[in-house]
Amino acid sequence: MKKFESSIKQVPYSQEAVYRNISDLSNLERVRDRIPEDKLKEFSFDKDSVTINVDPVGQITLRIVEREEPKCVKFETTQSPMPFNLWIQVLPVNETTSKMRITIKADIPFMLAAMVSGPIQDGVEKIADALAQIPYV
C-alpha cells in the first residue's frame, strides 16, 4: 500500500461544523455548482456514498466506512479501477478555525507506481484545496 497525504489546510470554520458536513455526503448538494460541468455527467451521492466519473480513470464510488466524531471520516472504494482508502482528518485550531488533511492509501501495482504516483498526489492536493474552500455553515 502506498500512502499519499495532502498538505495541512486551514479552514475558517469550527471542527464541529466541518465534521458535520463531511460526515453526511448529502451535503454535497450545496456545492454541486462548484464542480466542473464535465465531471457532473456521472456525479451522484447519498448520505454515505459518492460516485463520480474521473477522466481518464473511469467511475469511482466511495462509501463512508467509519465516522470518528468530530475528527475523522474514513472512506473506501466500492467501485474503482484501483482499490484505495481515503480519510479526512479535521482538528481544531481554535473555536472558529480548524485544520484538515486528506490521506489516501492505495494498492498500486509496482509496475504502475512511478506512473500514477504524481497524478494521485496532485489529486489529493486538489481535493484538500477544494474541501478547504467550502462554506461549512
Cell numbers found for residue 83: 482499490
Contact 11, 100 (CB under 8 A): yes
Phi and psi at 56, nearest 5°, equal -95, 10
Q: In a structure prediction context, what are the per-residue pLDDT tens digits for the chain, which is 137 residues long?
A: 899 999 999 999 999 999 999 999 998 887 777 666 665 567 889 999 999 887 777 888 999 999 999 999 999 999 988 899 999 999 999 999 999 999 999 988 888 888 889 989 998 998 899 899 989 98
3-state secondary structure (DSSP) of residue 114: helix
What's the confidence (pLDDT) of residue 41? 63
Closest CA to 125 of 1, 16, 4: 4
Q: What is the pLDDT of residue 36?
A: 62
Residue 15, exposed/middle/buried by CB under 10 A (0-12, 13-18, 19+)?
buried
So what's the pLDDT on residue 25? Answer: 93
Distances (CA, A) of 105 to 1, 82, 87: 6, 11, 9
Q: Any residues with CB less than 8 A from the CB of 112 and at least 6 apart, and which?
A: none
Quick one: CATH architecture of 2-132? 2-Layer Sandwich (3.30)
Which residue, 87, 63, 74, 116, is CA-closest to 6?
87
